[in-house]
Amino acid sequence: LAFTLLFVTILLFRAVSSQVSYSIPEEMAKGSLVGSVAQDLGLDVKRLRLGNGRVYSGDSSDYVELNAERGVLLVKERIDREALCGDTTPCALHFQIVLENPMEFYSVTVEITDINDNAPTFEKAEIKFLISESSAVGAKFDLERAVDLDVGINTLQSYVLKPSGHFLLKLQNHADGTKNVEMVLQKPLDREKNEFISLVLTAVDGGEPQMSGTMQILITVLDANDNAPVFTQPIYKATVSENSAKGTVVTTVSASDADQGSNGRITYSISSTIENARGIFEVNAESGEITLKRDVDYEKVNSFQMNIRASDDGGLEDSCKVTIDVIDVNDNQPNIQIISKSNVISEDATLGTVVTMINIEDADSGDNGKVHCYINENIPFLMKYSTGEFYSLITENELDREIASEYNITVTCSDEGVPSLSSSVTLNLQISDVNDNAPVFERSSYEAYIVENNTPGVSIFTVKARDADWKQNARVSYILEESSVNGVPVSSYVSISADSGVIHAVRSFDYEQIKDFQFHVKAQDGGSPPLSSNVTVKILIQDQNDNPPQVLYPVQTGGSMVAEMVPRSADVGYLVTKVVAVDVDSGQNAWLSYKLQKATDRALFEVGLQNGEIRTIRQVTDKDAVKQRLTVIVEDNGQPSRSATVIVNVAVADSFPEVLSEFTDFPHDKEYNDNLTFYLVLALAVVSFLFITCLVVIISVKIYRWRQSRILYHSSLPVIPYYPPRYSDTLGTGTLPHVYNYEVCRTTDSRKSDCKLGRAGSQNVLIMDPSSSETLQRIQSKKNILDEPDSPLEVGYLSLICAYKELEERWRPHMFSFNRRNSFWAQEH
C-alpha cells in the first residue's frame, strides 16, 4: 500500500473548458480517493448535492464514482490498465460530471499509471529446432518473443539465454519499437558429440520487483544442409477490411531454397505474433498464404504484426515480418446518448433554455466517424454544438402551449461514410401551461327574451366563454357584475351559475313595469393571477296578454246611474257617446275592438269597431223607448283575448223631466230609499256617540273616522267624473276629441238627494242648494277649524250638517237646479 501511494499524483488544472485531470495507479482498492473534484472545480459541495451531480461516462464502464456529499471522486471498480488500454499510453479515463438546475457539465480526465503486475510470458512453453551440424557460425534462428502487458519500465526489458556455450542472443530493433529475438550460432555444432541441446530463454522486465518468464529451447542437431531458405523480402505489408469473411486471403509470403530434395522443401509457419494477433491469422504451410481465421474489428485493433518462418527439411530457416493494417468500414452508426433532459418546460421559458444535453459517438474513423446532427423542422428548438461530442437542445423561438402542447423532437445523426449510417432518438417534451389567455365569450354581446309572468328561478339562457389555457388556468367562472336597474341591484333581477353560465330569473317580470334591462357578466379563469373578460347581456321582456281592457269612460259606479241623452230629433249617425278604454299591454295585445253585445233596440245604435263611438243607425222616432240600455264589450287582440264590458244608459228624450220620470222607476229605488234612511239614522247615532267618546279615547276617534268615511262617501247619485283634457288614446286614434265636464245636480225628489263633501281632489263636482246663497264648494274654502282634515270635530260637524240638510229636504218643496255648462245631459260635437 505504501508503494502504491507513492505513485498517486494529482494533477489539477483550470481552463476555460472547465476540465480537471488526475493521475492514479491501477489496481487501487475500491473506495480509494481519486481527487477532491468540488474543490478543484471551484464548486460548492451543496451545488453538487442539489444539482444531482453524477458521473457520465458514455458506454464505458464506470470505474470512478462521485460522492456528492463530500465533493470527491472515488474508485468504484478495480482498474486494470492492461484490460482498459492494452499497450496504449498514456491510459486515461474520460468522463463528465453532469449537474442539473441549471444544466452544466465538466470534463474530467483520470490517467491510469502502470504498476508491475504482469510478468513476461511466452506463447509456447518450449520450442524445438532442427539444426544441421554444418550450420555456419553466425547462423541465426528466430525465437518467439515474450509478451509483457505492462508498459514503460515495467514492460519487457531484456532476454537471457542459458547455457550460452553454442549460441548467443541477438536483439534486432525495428522502427516501430518492436524487437526480434534471434539465437545466433557462435560455435560449430557436432552431432556426434551432442545431438540434443537444451537451452532456457528467460525474459526479464524492468519493474520492481523484477518479474520474468521462461521458455525451453530443444535443439536437435542434424546432418549437414548447407543452404537455408530465403524470403523474397524481409517485410511484407498487407491490408484487410474489417468484417471480412473468415478464410479471406490477406497476403502470401514466399521463400526459396537452393538445396534439392528434402533439404529444399520449404515449410511456412508463424514463428511469433504480438498479443493482439494471436489466433487471428493462419498461414498455409505449403503455399505461404496468410488467411483470416477470425473476424477483425477496426475499432478494437487496427494493425497486426507477425513473423513468418520458412524452414526446409534440413533444419535451415529464414524469417520475415508481416504487417497487416485493418481498413475501416463504415459499420458503426452514430450512438446517441441522453446525458440529461427535461420532460416538461414552461411555455414562458426564455430563449436559449437548455432542454436536453446529448452525447454523440461514432466508433468509426475518418469520414466514417464524422457526424452531423439535426432535428425535425418547424419546431421552436435548435441543436447547438457545445464541445467535443456534446450537443445541447435549446429553445430557439417562443413557446405557446395553446398552439402546441407537446413536441416529439426527433434527433437524427448521420456520419459521412459511404453508404452513410444514421441513428435517431425521439424526445417527448410537454409544454406546461401559463395563464396567458383570458376567457373569451362566444359573442360580443348577448340578447335574450323572456315572457313576462315567468316563474322565479327559471333559466333564461346561457352565456359561454372559452379559455385557451389548460386545466386550472382554463376553468372559467361566471360572475354577475354589480350594477343597478332603476335603482335596484341587478342581482334582485337575475342570477348566474358560476360554473355553467346559466342565467336564471330571480323574480317574475312584468312587462308593464320594465320592458328591458342590461347588465354585465364577467368570465374569470382560475389562474394566478386570474384573467377575465366582460360581456354585455340585454334581457328583453316579452309582453303577455295578462291585462284586460280597462274602461275609462263611462265610469261604472255601484249606486249611481250614468246616462246619455239623445234628442228625438237626432239624425242618422248622431254621436251618442264614446266608450273610452285602454289596455296596458303592448302590441297586438293592446289592440282593442268594440262590439255591441246587448241592446234594448239593436236597430237603433251601433258601436264603432275601432273607436268605440256609439252612433244612431237610423232616425229616432216617437215609438222608441225613452230608456235604452246598451252593453258594450271591449276585447283586445291577445291570445287568448281578454275583454271588459260596460253598460251605457241612453235616454231618448227632449227634456230633462221626461228623463227623470222614466229613470225614477228603476228597480233599485226602493232598496236605495231603505238604505238611505238606514244610513241617516245610523249617522245621527254615531255622531252623538262620537261627541261623547272622542274626548276620552283617541283610539276610538280613529276607528270612528274609518267607519264614518265608509258611510259618508257611499253615494247613489248618478255621477260622471271629470277626466283631464286631451286624454291619450292607446288605440292610436289620437286624443279624445271631446271634453265632457259635469256637475252633480239635486233632483226635486228629496229621496234621491245626496250630500257630497267636496275635497281637493273632487272640486269638479258642483252641488247646488236652493236654500243657500253660496255653494258647498265655496263654503269649503272658508278658513275655520273645519279646514283641519284630522279634526274629529270637522267630521262630526259636517255629518250633522248633512243629516240636517237631508231631513230638511224631505219637507221642503222640491226644487231642481240645473246647470248646463257642459251638462251631464249635453254634448259637444
Q: Strand 212-222 vs strand 126-132: parallel, antiparallel, or unpaired?
A: parallel
d(C-alpha 206, C-alpha 1), whole Å: 20
The amino acid at residue 351 is L
8 Å CB contact between 205 and 211: yes
Q: Report in angstroms the alpha-carbon separations of 414 from 287, 355, 371, 382.
A: 44, 22, 5, 17
Q: Hey, which of 141-145, 726-730, 758-762 has the most confident mean pLDDT?
A: 141-145
Residue 276 above 50 pLDDT? yes
DSSP string spanning 699-765?
Answer: HHHHHHHHHHHHHHT---S-------SSPEETTTTEE-S----------S-GGG-------GGGTT-
If phi over 0 gives left and psi between -120 and 50 gives alpha, with beta otherwise, what is residue 319? beta
Q: What is the mean pLDDT of residues 343-371?
A: 89
Instruction: Give tens-digit pLDDT for 89-116.
Output: 888 888 888 988 888 888 899 998 988 8
Among 58-67, 197-206, 454-463, 818-827, the range scoring the smallest mean pLDDT is: 818-827
Residue 513 above 80 pLDDT? yes
d(C-alpha 140, C-alpha 236), whole Å: 20
d(C-alpha 200, C-alpha 258), whole Å: 32
Instruction: Give tens-digit pLDDT for 188-241.
Output: 888 778 888 999 999 999 888 899 999 999 998 886 767 789 999 999 999 999
pLDDT at 671: 52
Instruction: Give tens-digit pLDDT for 661-707.
Output: 666 554 444 455 566 677 778 888 888 777 777 777 777 777 777 77
DSSP state of 9: B
pLDDT at 288: 92
| Interior/surface letters 60-85, b for 16+ CB within 10 angstroms, e for the rest | eeebbbbbbeebbbbbbeebebbebb
8 Å CB contact between 799 and 704: no
Q: What is the mean pLDDT of residues 718-722?
A: 40
In the chain the domains, ranked by start, together with CATH numbers, are 19-113 (2.60.40.60), 126-222 (2.60.40.60), 230-327 (2.60.40.60), 335-432 (2.60.40.60), 440-542 (2.60.40.60), 550-661 (2.60.40.60)
Q: In what order do the strands lie in the sheet with 516-525?
A: 445-451, 532-542, 516-525, 476-480
Write the CB contacts of 138 (distance below 8 Å, at least 6 apart in sequence).
Answer: 184, 185, 186
**Quick check: helix, strand or coil at residue 585?**
coil
Among 244-253, 511-520, 551-560, the range scoring the smallest mean pLDDT is: 551-560
Higher pLDDT pick, 706 / 303:
303
Grid coordinates standing for 400? 405557446
